[in-house]
Amino acid sequence: MADLSALEAPAALAWVQSHAWAYPALEAAHITGIALLLGSLVVFELRALGAARELPALALARLALRVAVAGFALVAASGLLMFGSQPGEMLSNRFFVAKLALVAAGGLNALLFHWRGGIERLDGVARAQALLSMGLWLAAILCGRWIAYA
């Protein structure tokens, strides 16, 4: 395996390393995005699994999707800035690589859910995808927490 620790941060991102508050602020933004993303997904996925059947699934999905997309945008932007400040270190961290794979799997699962019309169906496949989604995003969060300790 190649030694990626020699990769340097782009000069444009030097402010992330040089300001004492920059990285913690990005982490706070990242966590806020995670809360928006996962919180809205869990609410809809619980509905897909049969909870709160009195709530219209389509209306709840529209709201949850907007919040989830906003959360993901915040996660992606803050994550890219944190990654860009230390790319070699991140790419050589097995938990970071696992987190990226889990995020990609979570995104693919969501695309497949919407592609097959899972919101309208809420059938066994949709319920399985809801469970898979919760597991993938939780695993991504756990890997993200372990990045600092690897």
Whole-prediction pTM: 0.88
Q: Using an 8 Å Cβ cutoff, are 54 and 119 in contact?
A: no
pLDDT digits (tens, 9 = 90+) for 60-106: 999 999 999 999 999 999 999 999 989 999 999 999 999 999 999 99
Q: Using an 8 Å Cβ cutoff, are 127 and 49 in contact?
A: yes
Give me the sign of the Cα torsion angle 135, 131, 116, 74: negative
The amino acid occupying position 10 is P
Give the pLDDT mean for 5-29: 77
pLDDT, the chain, mean? 92
Quick check: 8 pLDDT over 80?
no
Q: How far apart are CA 39 and CA 64, in angstroms?
A: 9
pLDDT digits (tens, 9 = 90+) for 113-122: 999 999 999 9
